[in-house]
Amino acid sequence: MAAKKPAAKPNISKEELLDHYREMLLIRRFEEKAGQLYGMGVIGGFCHLYIGQEAVVVGLEATAKDGDQRITSYRDHGHMLASGMDPKGVMAELAGRKDGYSKGKGGSMHMFSAEKNFYGGHGIVGAQVPLGAGLGFANRYRGNDNVSFAYFGDGAANQGQVYETFNMASLWKLPVVFVIENNQYAMGTAMKRSTSTPDIYTRGQAFGIPGEAVDGMDVLAVKAAGEKAVAHARAGNGPYILEMKTYRYRGHSMSDPAKYRSREEVQKVRQEKDPIDHVRDLLVGGKHATEDELKTIDKEIKAVVNESAKFAQDSPEPDISELWTDIYAEVS
Amino acid sequence: MATNILMPALSPTMEEGTLAKWLVKEGDTVASGDILAEIETDKATMEFEAVDDGVIGKLLVAEGTEGVKVNTAIAVLLEDGEDASDTKAAPEPQAKAAEPAATPVQETAPATATPRPAMEEVPAGTKMKTMTVREALREAMSEEMRANEDVYLMGEEVAEYQGAYKISQGMLDEFGPKRVIDTPITENGFTGIAVGSAFAGLRPIVEFMTFNFAMQAIDHIVNSAAKTLYMSGGQMGCPIVFRGANGAAARVGAQHSHDYATWYAQVPGLKVVMPYSAADAKGLLKSAIRDPNPVVFLENEILYGRSFEVPDLDDFTVPLGRARIWRQGSDVSIVSFGIGMQYALEAAEILAKDGIEAEVIDLRSIRPIDYETVLESVRKTNRCVTVEEGFPVCSIGNHLSATIMMQAFDYLDAPVINCTGKDVPMPYAANLEKLALVTTQEVVDAVKSVTYR
Ligand SMILES: Cc1ncc(C[n+]2csc(CCOP(=O)(O)OP(=O)(O)O)c2C)c(N)n1
Ligand SMILES: [Mg+2]
């Protein structure tokens, strides 16, 4: 999982480290709660947890500015929280309730926030890649300096539309950062069983798109690489590919028998590479925070997550009239 | 405070499961993420993890117990310092939250209990065996692969993972990786490759994890597979089966719930099959694999786990393009296919209690359609209601209505009514999803309307 070229450790402040810690922990605890609510039947359908991958979205969101957009797959709860969406609204959507971001009509895989420039949660593997480039296209068209982040998996990286998009994004110099979240598995398929060459970040070469592999378990490395990629795209130089080497701890969705990898493999990553433990060690080791201070943060986060779960369960189901709304926009 | 650990729902359609094995015992300390137990659903055996830290106070359900309902308390978790006598204090789970993910349909196939005419394909006195639709599909593929070396199975997770919905479980073991082939998530590419190999005379079975993803490949299904025989003046055909789950499962949202039956039914050159029962799933899939044409074979996730009687024959096939009459009746013809049959049959039971005898017809194939069976029935009953889960506009029901109007107008005593899914993308919320689907009550109401009761 080590990155090809570890990014130099930027000079990082205590505040920044604490921010990363809080955001990653919020995602972790939120996802654990979502898993629990799924088991209780509060959440239904598919539910893809982001546990293990927290450093990727938290590190990259630290490089975004107002106006930048993001779009991703169905494994989207972490992206929503990191983009500043309210955990209450996200959890309520997971439960299919009225106060969810999509009024309960979207669910775990399909949530959006116009306010936070979060363009969803997409269920068709690879679809978000051209869509993300389209967001970049709009930025270029309007002549602003916003950048779009298009997140997709190692499995999605084989879809044909990805390469059609790479060609056009490079040809038209679209300000897009393509973020490949390589968690090494697409459902039960280990990457080497689906992918002819292992270094996905090199796949832009044929189209003239620079790419880089990054230790996606190290939020600081992610942020450093993200800054470089974003600067490139924002300056009008076209797209950039970041391959984040990461790992998902849980099953693909909730119903995953997980026979394709050993428990030991998962345990090893958890013990040696955990992105939250990593920042925790930096905080405590660098004497930026005491165990007690971190415990207080843990408590705060738990409270936020519990509150979101309560809010979701207290929120009513959508009114049945909502079945027939939002199919067409009003013609003005 | 002691809390109850509840039987988890581990899949969108799970309502109960077997507690296969405890991996902890009373008194063990567990941390969030530790594996507590192995739980068996109809699809898989899965590990169940702790979400809270604590000590196992009591195991409430013994390992090996079958049929444990989702949300039953299976163990008590104590916080550090509590002892097992606190277990009684474990609060009930929050009642509102505890409702299991709604599966909008009944789990049993009501029709199996109903007396019905024997399947015409089955000789009288044939021994029957009970099997699920899932097993029937697997048997059909395996039998055909044993019989013909040119038949192979290709798709995402079909081999090593044993099938995303476990249809191909065990097939890699029997047939090896040359004939049971895992693909990357590249539907357009692998479908094109399979179609090309069919041009060259092989007989691929392409499994789409669901037909929602076949949208990536629909170009090859329509433009390459369906039209080549015609474009080549009959020189080159495409013997291929495209199969997989189609339509709504449970709570999987707008992009994973689409019923594509009518889309494919429109395409000349394709044959389209959408079975309801396990016997038809088996017999029709075997015929589809032998057919020299491209066949789109639409399955349904909710039906996969249902059990039906299947003829215990060495080589049981059902011809494509022939409807099956499940129930004879003289008052109204209810015509359906796929999971729509469930509503049709349920409605017929209810109507019978009111003295209305419905004839229930399962089209089974929607291209070609067995018009004659439908028309013959309508000429007898003079009324018709169609039932399907897909959208109302340009539905199969619309097409049948037009056909009946053109060919049996004088026999009709009432307009044909089409019961369909609602004209909206599938919502995620449990209450809205129920409303979006066609319901048994809608079928009952439609029949009452055409029979003027
Ligand atoms: C076009 C399409 N094909 C198949 C699927 C079913 N499916 C959902 S997620 C998935 C695996 C994707 O893996 P990857 O891109 O690595 O993302 P990850 O789940 O690891 O985040 C598959 C096969 C789908 N949703 N869309
Ligand atoms: Mg992956």
Is A108 near ligand 1, meaning CB less than 6 Å away? no
Q: Could you tell me if A45 and A105 are in contact, meaning their C-beta atoms sit under 8 angstroms apart?
A: no
Q: What is the 3-state secondary structure (H, E, C) of chain A?
A: CCCCCCCCCCCCCHHHHHHHHHHHHHHHHHHHHHHHHHHCCCCCCCCCCCCCCHHHHHHHHCCCCCCCEEEEECCCHHHHHHCCCCHHHHHHHHCCCCCCCCCCCCCCCCCCECCCCEEEEECCCCCHHHHHHHHHHHHHHHCCCCCEEEEEECCHHHCHHHHHHHHHHHHCCCCEEEEEEECCEECCEEHHHCCCCCCHHHHHHHHCCCEEEEECCCHHHHHHHHHHHHHHHHCCCCCEEEEEECCCCCCCCCCCCCCCCCHHHHHHHHHHHCHHHHHHHHHHHCCCCCHHHHHHHHHHHHHHHHHHHHHHHHCCCCCHHHHHCCCCCCCC
Q: Between chains, do A41 and B98 touch, taking CB under 8 Å as contact?
A: yes
pLDDT number for residue B86: 53
Is A123 near ligand 1, meaning CB less than 6 Å away? yes
For A176, residues 6+ apart whose C-beta sits below 8 A from its C-beta are A132, A133, A135, A136, A147, A148, A149, A150, A169, A233, A239, A240
Calculate how close chain A gets to B164, using CA atoms only, in Å.
Answer: 9
Q: Between chains, do A259 and B161 touch, taking CB under 8 Å as contact?
A: yes
pLDDT number for residue B284: 98
From the alpha carbon of A123, which atom of ligand 1 is closest?
25
Please report which confidence band the pLDDT of residue A9 belongs to, taking 50, 70 and 90 as the band edges.
Answer: low
Is A75 near ligand 1, meaning CB less than 6 Å away? yes
* pLDDT average, residue stretch B233-261: 96
Burial class (CB in 10 A: 0-12, 13-18, 19+), A151: buried
Joined tokens for residue B308: 């039906």
Joined tokens for residue B410: 């004088």
A105, A109, A156: residue with CB nearest B427: A105
- Cβ neighbours of B250 (radius 10 Å): 21
The Cα B23–Cα B74 span in angstroms is: 13
CA–centroid distance, A110 to ligand 2, in Å, is 18
- B43 in contact with A, Cβ within 8 Å: yes
% of chain B residues with pLDDT over 90: 77
- Residue A4 phi, psi dihedral angles, 5° rounding: -60, -50
Question: Does the bond joining B368 to the residue before it have cis omega, within 30 degrees of 0?
Answer: yes
pLDDT number for residue B83: 66
Q: Could you tell me if A211 and A242 are in contact, meaning their C-beta atoms sit under 8 angstroms apart?
A: yes
Interface list for A 155-174 with B (CB within 8 A): 155-156, 158-160
pLDDT number for residue B84: 57
Asked about B399 being catalytic, the answer comes back as no
CA–centroid distance, A326 to ligand 2, in Å, is 32
Mean pLDDT over each residue of chain A, to the nearest integer: 95
Q: Residue A188: which CATH number?
A: 3.40.50.970
Is B161 near ligand 1, meaning CB less than 6 Å away? no
pLDDT number for residue A1: 45
pLDDT exceeds 50 at position B403: yes
> Which chain A residues contact residue B10 at CB under 8 A?
39, 254-255
- Cβ neighbours of B87 (radius 10 Å): 18
pLDDT number for residue A324: 96
> Which chain B residues contact residue A260 at CB under 8 A?
160-161
pLDDT exceeds 90 at position B11: no
Buried b / exposed e along B161-184 (16+ C-beta atoms within 10 A): bbbbbbbbbebbeebeeebbbbbb
CA–centroid distance, A185 to ligand 2, in Å, is 4
Q: Which helix (H) or strand (E) holds B447?
A: helix B440-450
- A145 in contact with B, Cβ within 8 Å: no
For B96, residues 6+ apart whose C-beta sits below 8 A from its C-beta are A313
Is A154 near ligand 1, meaning CB less than 6 Å away? yes
The Cα B406–Cα B404 span in angstroms is: 5
Interface list for A 31-50 with B (CB within 8 A): 32-33, 35-46
Residue of A nearest to B70 (CA): A40
Buried b / exposed e along B189-200 (16+ C-beta atoms within 10 A): bbbbbbbebbbe
> Which chain B residues contact residue A126 at CB under 8 A?
185, 216
pLDDT number for residue B328: 97
Ligand nearest to the CA of A53: 1
pLDDT in tens, A19-51: 999 999 999 999 999 999 999 999 999 999 999
β-sheet with B54-59: strand ranges across: B3-6, B73-78, B54-59, B29-30
Residue A20 inside a domain? The answer is: yes
β-sheet with A240-245: strand ranges across: A118-122, A69-73, A148-153, A176-182, A240-245, A211-215
Ligand nearest to the CA of B191: 1
pLDDT in tens, B85-129: 554 444 444 333 333 333 333 333 333 333 344 477 888 899 999
Q: Is B310 helix (H, G, I), strand (E, B) or coil?
A: strand
Nearest to A235, CA basis, from A179, A142, A172, A173: A173
Calculate how close chain A gets to B163, using CA atoms only, in Å.
Answer: 10
Give CA angle at B132 (B127, B134), nearest 5°. 125
Ligand nearest to the CA of B212: 1
% of chain A residues with pLDDT over 70: 97
The Cα A9–Cα A227 span in angstroms is: 13
Which of B15, B135, B144, B187 is flagged as catalytic?
B187
Q: Where are the alpha helices (DSSP H) in B241-339?
A: 261-265, 278-290, 301-304
Can you give the residue range of the structural domain that contains A280?
A: 14-311
Give CA angle at B225 (B224, B226), nearest 5°. 105
Domain count of chain A? 1
Joined tokens for residue B315: 């080589």
Q: Is B135 helix (H, G, I), strand (E, B) or coil?
A: helix
Q: Between chains, do A45 and B252 touch, taking CB under 8 Å as contact?
A: yes
CA–centroid distance, A156 to ligand 1, in Å, is 6
- Residue B6 phi, psi dihedral angles, 5° rounding: -105, 150
Q: Between chains, do A194 and B184 touch, taking CB under 8 Å as contact?
A: yes
> Which chain A residues contact residue B254 at CB under 8 A?
105-106, 110, 123
* pLDDT average, residue stretch B247-275: 97
Residue A123 inside a domain? The answer is: yes
Q: Which helix (H) or strand (E) holds B194?
A: helix B187-199
CA–centroid distance, A174 to ligand 2, in Å, is 25
CA–centroid distance, A155 to ligand 1, in Å, is 6
The Cα B17–Cα B14 span in angstroms is: 7
Interface list for B 185-244 with A (CB within 8 A): 185-186, 188-189, 212-213, 215-216
Residue A322 inside a domain? The answer is: no
- Cβ neighbours of B367 (radius 10 Å): 23
Residue of A30, A33, A40, A249 to mutate for B, most B C-beta atoms under 10 A:
A40
pLDDT number for residue B3: 86
The Cα A307–Cα A17 span in angstroms is: 25
Q: Could you tell me if B418 and B395 are in contact, meaning their C-beta atoms sit under 8 angstroms apart?
A: yes
pLDDT number for residue A2: 44
Residue A290 inside a domain? The answer is: yes
pLDDT in tens, A70-106: 999 999 999 999 999 999 999 999 999 999 999 999 9
Q: Which amino acid is it at B177?
A: P
DSSP β-bridge partners for residue B3: B77
Cα B444 from chain centroid?
23
A193, A255, A323: residue with CB nearest B427: A323
pLDDT number for residue B431: 97
Residue A5 inside a domain? The answer is: no
Which of B256, B346, B359, B399 is flagged as catalytic?
B256
The Cα A146–Cα A133 span in angstroms is: 12
> Which chain A residues contact residue B49 at CB under 8 A?
35
Per this entry, what is the length of chain B? Answer: 453
Is B209 near ligand 1, meaning CB less than 6 Å away? yes
Output the CA torsion A30→A32→A33→A35 (10° steps). Answer: 120
What is the bridge-based pairing of β-strands B365-367 and B271-273? antiparallel
Which ipTM was obtained for this model? 0.88
The Cα B159–Cα B166 span in angstroms is: 10
The structure's pTM equals 0.87
**Minimum CA distance residue for ligand 1 atom 11:** A186
Residue A316 inside a domain? The answer is: no
Residue of A29, A30, A31, A42 to mutate for B, most B C-beta atoms under 10 A:
A42
* pLDDT average, residue stretch A222-234: 98
Q: Between chains, do B97 and A254 touch, taking CB under 8 Å as contact?
A: no
Nearest to A76, CA basis, from A47, A44, A38, A114: A47
Ligand nearest to the CA of A128: 1
- Cβ neighbours of A42 (radius 10 Å): 26
% of chain B residues with pLDDT over 70: 91
pLDDT exceeds 70 at position B147: yes
The Cα B329–Cα A23 span in angstroms is: 64
The Cα B269–Cα B320 span in angstroms is: 14
Q: Could you tell me if A168 and A237 are in contact, meaning their C-beta atoms sit under 8 angstroms apart?
A: no
Is B255 near ligand 1, meaning CB less than 6 Å away? no
Is A156 near ligand 1, meaning CB less than 6 Å away? yes
pLDDT in tens, B168-218: 999 999 999 999 999 999 999 999 999 999 999 999 999 999 999 999 999
* pLDDT average, residue stretch A217-238: 98
Q: Between chains, do B186 and A97 touch, taking CB under 8 Å as contact?
A: no
**Minimum CA distance residue for ligand 1 atom 25:** A124
Residue A319 inside a domain? The answer is: no
Is B156 near ligand 1, meaning CB less than 6 Å away? yes
> Which chain B residues contact residue A193 at CB under 8 A?
160, 182
**Minimum CA distance residue for ligand 1 atom 20:** A186
Joined tokens for residue A232: 């490139």
* Domains of chain B as residue ranges with CATH: 3-82 (2.40.50.100), 128-311 (3.40.50.970), 324-450 (3.40.50.920)
Please report which confidence band the pLDDT of residue B50 belongs to, taking 50, 70 and 90 as the band edges.
Answer: confident
Classify the C-alpha dihedral A35-A41-A42-A45 as positive or negative: positive
